[in-house]
Amino acid sequence: MEMVSTALSHGGIQGVYRHQAETTGCEMTFAVFMPPDSDGPVPVLWYLSGLTCSHANVMEKGEYRRLAAELGIAIICPDTSPRGDAVPDEADNWQFGSGAGFYLDATQSPYARHYQMYSYILGELSELVAANFAVDMSRQGIFGHSMGGHGALIMALKNPERFKSCSAFAPIVNPMTADWSSTAFGKYLGDDTAGWRAYDAVALIEDGHEFSDLLVDQGEADSFLDNGLRPWLLEAACQKSDIELTLRMQVGYDHSYFFISTFMDDHLRWHAARL
């Protein structure tokens, strides 16, 4: 692991690191915020970013460090996809390829060699973080935005023994049927939609996966609300499965980091109460 940069912030350290990842077959970059020194290992909160983003977007715009330092929580920000000249991509398609890994494990050639973001985050990157930072991996939460909210939901639903908390900002809750994700799923996972259900929050709940409670914030002025996000589908699935969902429709807010940063403190406190 190579340190790219570090900076002091609110008494903690915001670092950026890179390493050669076997899972994705390329060099990967990620960010870690460690709160000020405490008496022991600190809880871990994973933040997964959305389409076109990298680790840097929430690090620069998310405004999480002040409260994370106060609460004593480490924030881990992975990249959203593999990157590099050897990684297959569609440069003119912002909904697929670089910056759009959808946090799944691709099964289709030529994407299967590199697009293994689900296994990378839950396996290789988690092991690297545990080995190099003073974190308590028995206290983990996960949250994210848009495509990253989708990633947080599916990882929590499939690994409730690992994640003690989960929340999301404007998540893609049913990517199998959403305009901006179904095409990508076909390219990554093939034509058999039965295999897509393993990476779809609504489908996972329908198939019996459970989680204790979820927090979702969604802007009512979000231009992607009706065609891409559709939180009411998650709400209906949770109601049928008796999963406690706090869905907050925020009047006037859009899909941007102005929205995310406004409600970041609420999400950090939600996770802290459960970690």
Measured in Å, how far apart are the chain's first and last C-alpha atoms? 27
Of 116, 181, 185, the residue nearest 146 (C-alpha): 181
Q: Which of 81, 126, 146, 167 is catalytic?
A: 146
What does each C-alpha distance from 226 to 88, 215, 229, 253 come to in angstroms? 30, 19, 6, 14
Helix (H) or strand (E) holding 33: strand 26-34
255 catalytic, yes or no? yes
Active site residue 114: no
| Active site (annotated) includes residue 254 | no
Using a 10 angstrom Cβ sphere, with 0-12 exposed, 13-18 middle and 19 or more buried, the burial of residue 240 is: exposed
Q: Which of 150, 255, 267, 271 is catalytic?
A: 255
Q: Are 216 and 234 in contact (CB under 8 A)?
A: yes
Active-site residue, selected from the candidate residues 98, 150, 222, 271: 222
Is residue 175 within 8 Å of 101, Cβ to Cβ?
no
Kindly list the catalytic residues.
Answer: 146, 222, 255
